Amino acid sequence: MENRIAASLKILTESDKEACETVRISENEPSVGKKTLFIESYGCQMNFADSEIVASVMRNAGFATTSDAENADLVFLNTCAIRDNAEQRVRTRLKQLNVYKRKRPGMLIGVLGCMAERLKAKLLEEEKMVDIVTGPDAYRDLPRLVEEAETGQKGVNVFLSREETYADISPVRLNSNGITALISIMRGCDNMCSFCVVPYTRGRERSRDPFSIVKEAQELFDQGYKEVTLLGQNVDSYKWNGSPEGGNEAAFTQINFARLLEMVAQISPELRVRFSTSHPKDITDEVLYTIKKYDNICKYIHLPAQHGNNRVLAIMNRTYDREWYLERVDSIRRILGEECGISHDMIAGFCTETEEEHQDSLSLLENVRFDFGYMFSYSERPGTPAAKKFVDDIPADIKQRRLAEIIEIQQRVSAEKNQKLIGTVQRVLAEGFSKRSQDDLSGRSDQNKVVIFPKENFKKGDYVNVLITETTSATLRGKALIEEEVNQY
In the predicted structure, residue 127 carries a pLDDT above the cut 70:
no
Residues 183 and 259 in one domain: yes
* Ranges of H-type helices in 73-129: 84-103, 114-121
Q: Are the C-beta atoms of 83 and 50 separated by less than 8 Å?
A: no
Burial of 128 (0-12, 13-18, 19+ CB in 10 A): exposed
For range 180-204, the mean pLDDT: 94
Residue 308 lies in a domain: no
Residues 151 and 47 in one domain: yes
Cα–Cα distance measured from residue 245 to residue 139, given in angstroms and rounded to the nearest whole number:
24
Cα–Cα distance measured from residue 192 to residue 206, given in angstroms and rounded to the nearest whole number:
15
Residues 142 and 39 in one domain: yes
In this prediction, residue 115 has a pLDDT band, given cuts at 50, 70 and 90, of confident
Residues 153 and 12 in one domain: yes
Residue 441 lies in a domain: yes
- Looking at every residue in the chain, the average pLDDT score rounds to 90
Q: State which residues form the domain around 473.
A: 425-486
Higher pLDDT, 116 or 373: 373
Model pLDDT, residue 5: 27
Cα–chain center distance at 384: 21
Residues 149 and 182 in one domain: no
Cα–Cα distance measured from residue 214 to residue 221, given in angstroms and rounded to the nearest whole number:
10
pLDDT tens digits, residue range 52-61?
999 999 999 9
Nearest CA to 288 out of 272, 301, 305 is that of: 301
Residues 208 and 81 in one domain: no
Model pLDDT, residue 285: 98
In the predicted structure, residue 14 carries a pLDDT above the cut 80:
no
Point out the domain boundary residue: 420, 441, 471. 420
In the predicted structure, residue 17 carries a pLDDT above the cut 50:
no
Model pLDDT, residue 338: 94
Burial of 26 (0-12, 13-18, 19+ CB in 10 A): middle
Residue 307 lies in a domain: no
Model pLDDT, residue 245: 63
Residues 407 and 435 in one domain: no
* Tally of helices (H runs) and strands (E runs) in the chain: 16, 23
Residues 431 and 415 in one domain: no
How many independent structural domains does the chain possess?
4
In this prediction, residue 20 has a pLDDT band, given cuts at 50, 70 and 90, of very low
Q: Are the C-beta atoms of 32 and 264 separated by less than 8 Å?
A: no
Residue 51 lies in a domain: yes
The count of other CB atoms within 10 Å of the CB of residue 387 is: 16
Cα–Cα distance measured from residue 302 to residue 372, given in angstroms and rounded to the nearest whole number:
9
* Ranges of H-type helices in 343-461: 355-368, 385-389, 396-419
Cα–chain center distance at 137: 18
CATH at residue 450? 2.40.50.140
In the predicted structure, residue 444 carries a pLDDT above the cut 50:
yes
CATH at residue 253? 3.30.750.210
Point out the domain boundary residue: 387, 420, 453. 420
Residue 73 lies in a domain: yes
417 Cβ neighbours under 8 A, 6+ residues apart: 369, 371
Residue 86 lies in a domain: yes
Q: Which of 3-7, 46-50, 148-152, 289-293 has the lowest mean pLDDT?
A: 3-7
CATH at residue 120? 3.40.50.12160
Q: Report which DSSP code applies to 209.
A: P
Model pLDDT, residue 33: 53
Model pLDDT, residue 483: 78
Query: Which uninterrupted H or E stretch holds 221?
Result: helix 210-222
In the predicted structure, residue 29 carries a pLDDT above the cut 60:
no
The count of other CB atoms within 10 Å of the CB of residue 457 is: 7
* Ranges of H-type helices in 223-378: 257-265, 285-293, 310-315, 322-336, 355-368
In this prediction, residue 359 has a pLDDT band, given cuts at 50, 70 and 90, of very high
In the predicted structure, residue 181 carries a pLDDT above the cut 60:
yes
Cα–Cα distance measured from residue 188 to residue 471, given in angstroms and rounded to the nearest whole number:
38
Cα–Cα distance measured from residue 180 to residue 226, given in angstroms and rounded to the nearest whole number:
6
The count of other CB atoms within 10 Å of the CB of residue 438 is: 8
Query: Which uninterrupted H or E stretch holds 464?
Result: strand 463-471
List Cα–Cα distances, 325 to 139, 303, 308, 473, in angstroms.
37, 9, 9, 24
Task: Read off the amino acid at residue 328.
Answer: R
Prior bond to 471 cis, omega within 30?
Answer: no
In the predicted structure, residue 26 carries a pLDDT above the cut 80:
no
pLDDT tens digits, residue range 195-205?
999 999 899 99
For range 60-89, the mean pLDDT: 90
What pairing do the DSSP bridges indicate for beta strands 463-471 and 475-481? antiparallel
Model pLDDT, residue 24: 53
Model pLDDT, residue 322: 98
Residues 394 and 415 in one domain: yes
Residues 239 and 371 in one domain: no
pLDDT tens digits, residue range 203-251?
999 999 999 999 999 999 999 999 999 999 999 999 998 876 655 555 5
Angle subtended at Cα 17 by Cα 53 and Cα 138, rounded to the nearest 5 degrees? 25
pLDDT tens digits, residue range 86-105?
788 898 999 999 999 999 98
Q: Which of 31-35, 271-275, 380-384, 436-440 has the lowest mean pLDDT?
A: 31-35
Cα–Cα distance measured from residue 127 to residue 121, given in angstroms and rounded to the nearest whole number:
9
Q: Are the C-beta atoms of 69 and 108 separated by less than 8 Å?
A: no
Residues 437 and 392 in one domain: no
In this prediction, residue 176 has a pLDDT band, given cuts at 50, 70 and 90, of confident
Q: Are the C-beta atoms of 287 and 257 separated by less than 8 Å?
A: yes
What pairing do the DSSP bridges indicate for beta strands 155-157 and 132-134? parallel
CATH at residue 400? 3.30.750.200
For range 324-335, the mean pLDDT: 98
Q: Helix or strand or coil: residue 127?
A: coil
Angle subtended at Cα 232 by Cα 230 and Cα 233, rounded to the nearest 5 degrees? 150
pLDDT tens digits, residue range 402-416?
999 999 999 999 999
Residues 42 and 148 in one domain: yes
Higher pLDDT, 152 or 121: 152
Residue 162 lies in a domain: no
Model pLDDT, residue 4: 27
Model pLDDT, residue 84: 78
